[in-house]
């Protein structure tokens, strides 16, 4: 009953490379969750390309998007398994306004003069599925994916995967209101084993970025404590946060919520 999370991209807003981000990594949001034989993917940032390069054989998988801001979809056209006819993917989005479809959003992103080829170049069987954040999805009989509305410009969806009596939550991009814990978030993460949370800023930085749609690692700690969630994974790092800065966050985090982690590219976490 394997239940694991692999981080392929942990960075927010824009990919970054170079010696100052080499340890935590510079790829934008992309996560792989394994529930036994079932593969669930979350977001299609630049990290998705590296995952694609490791996959072989015939793939049948679900890919859940938190939303369609550029850093969460820019890896989709570079995901090799989309170009292989034996594969089948269901792409899910729960944040779109009435009448808007995921197929259309992707088509407008992969469109001249912004992009050389349209989504019709994909050879895999692609299904685009819209839902309303708040619904519970069932990608398989043994897995439940609960969802909630997040507080983000253009909307975003938070996810909670439940499998084998355990749970992992993925909540990015979302902004908090200082002093007023987000009820949607508290409800979704209640008692969770692992909470991956938008930690773009520190509390001190947040004041400068009110309205940009992001939160802080300290708010993640407060939410996990209030909801009795076990472990926090600090995620969606600001590209300006270099390795030394994130080491500092990791030290503080270890004191505040033992067992918690600062996510980095390539990290695998067992959900237990």
In angstroms, give the least distance from the CB of 70 to Zn ion. 8
In angstroms, give the least distance from the CB of 260 to Zn ion. 21
Q: Which positions from 11 to 40 touch Zn ion by CB under 5 A, shown as an x/- string? A: -x----------------------------
CA–CA separation, 42 vs 9, rounded Å? 10
Q: Indicate the residue among 69 and 160 with the shorter CB distance to Zn ion.
A: 69
- Using CB atoms, what's the residue nearest to Zn ion? 69
Within residues 116-175, the interface with Zn ion by CB under 5 A covers: 173
Residue 177 burial (CB count, 10 A): 11
Exactly one of 49, 69, 176, 264 binds Zn ion (CB under 5 A); that residue is 69
CA–CA separation, 45 vs 137, rounded Å? 22
Of the candidate spans 6-14, 52-60, 79-87, 242-250, the one that interacts with Zn ion by CB under 5 A turns out to be 6-14
CA–CA separation, 125 vs 82, rounded Å? 8
Among candidates 248, 214, 250, 209, which has minimal Cα distance to 233?
A: 250
- How many residues make contact with Zn ion (CB under 5 A)? 4
198 is a contact residue toward Zn ion (CB under 5 A): no
238 is a contact residue toward Zn ion (CB under 5 A): no
Of the candidate spans 10-18, 33-41, 101-109, 256-264, the one that interacts with Zn ion by CB under 5 A turns out to be 10-18
Exactly one of 32, 43, 62, 71 binds Zn ion (CB under 5 A); that residue is 71
Which spans in the chain are helix H? 47-52, 70-73, 102-109, 183-189, 203-206, 217-227, 243-256
In angstroms, give the least distance from the CB of 88 to Zn ion. 27
Among candidates 30, 97, 33, which has minimal Cα distance to 61?
A: 33
Q: Indicate the residue among 81 and 155 with the shorter CB distance to Zn ion.
A: 155
Q: Indicate the residue among 173 and 182 with the shorter CB distance to Zn ion.
A: 173
In angstroms, give the least distance from the CB of 236 to Zn ion. 6
Q: What's the chain's length in residues?
A: 272
CA–CA separation, 224 vs 147, rounded Å? 17
In angstroms, give the least distance from the CB of 262 to Zn ion. 17
- Are 213 and 153 within 8 A, CB to CB? yes
Strand ranges across the sheet with 38-42: 125-130, 88-93, 60-65, 38-42, 30-35, 3-9, 268-270
In angstroms, give the least distance from the CB of 15 to Zn ion. 11
Question: Could you list the residues that contact Zn ion (CB under 5 A)?
Answer: 12, 69, 71, 173
């Amino acid at each position: 009953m394997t239940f694991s999370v692999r981080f392929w991209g942990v960075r927010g807003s824009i990919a970054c490379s170079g010696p100052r981000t080499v340890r935590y990594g510079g790829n934008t949001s992309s996560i792989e969750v394994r529930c036994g034989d079932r593969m669930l993917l979350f977001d299609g940032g630049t990290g998705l390309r590296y995952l694609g390069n490791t996959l072989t054989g015939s793939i049948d998988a679900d890919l859940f998007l938190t939303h369609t801001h550029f850093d969460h979809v820019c890896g989709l056209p570079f995901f090799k398994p989309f170009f292989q006819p034996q594969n089948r993917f269901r792409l899910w989005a729960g944040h779109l306004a009435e009448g808007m479809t995921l197929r259309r959003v992707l088509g407008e992103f992969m469109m001249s003069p912004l992009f050389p080829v349209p989504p019709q170049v994909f050879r895999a069987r692609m299904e685009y599925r819209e839902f309303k954040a708040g619904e519970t999805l069932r990608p398989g009989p043994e897995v439940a994916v609960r969802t909630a509305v997040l507080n983000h410009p253009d909307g975003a969806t938070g996810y909670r995967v439940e499998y084998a009596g355990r749970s992992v939550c993925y909540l990015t991009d979302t902004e908090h209101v200082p002093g007023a814990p987000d009820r949607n978030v508290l409800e979704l993460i209640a008692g969770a084993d692992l909470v991956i949370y938008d930690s773009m800023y520190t509390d001190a930085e947040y004041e400068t970025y009110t309205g940009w749609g992001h939160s802080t690692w300290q708010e993640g700690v407060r939410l996990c404590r209030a909801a009795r969630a076990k472990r926090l994974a600090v995620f969606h790092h600001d590209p300006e946060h270099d390795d030394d800065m994130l080491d500092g966050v990791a030290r503080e985090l270890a004191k505040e919520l033992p067992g918690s982690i600062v996510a980095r590219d390539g990290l695998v976490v067992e959900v237990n």
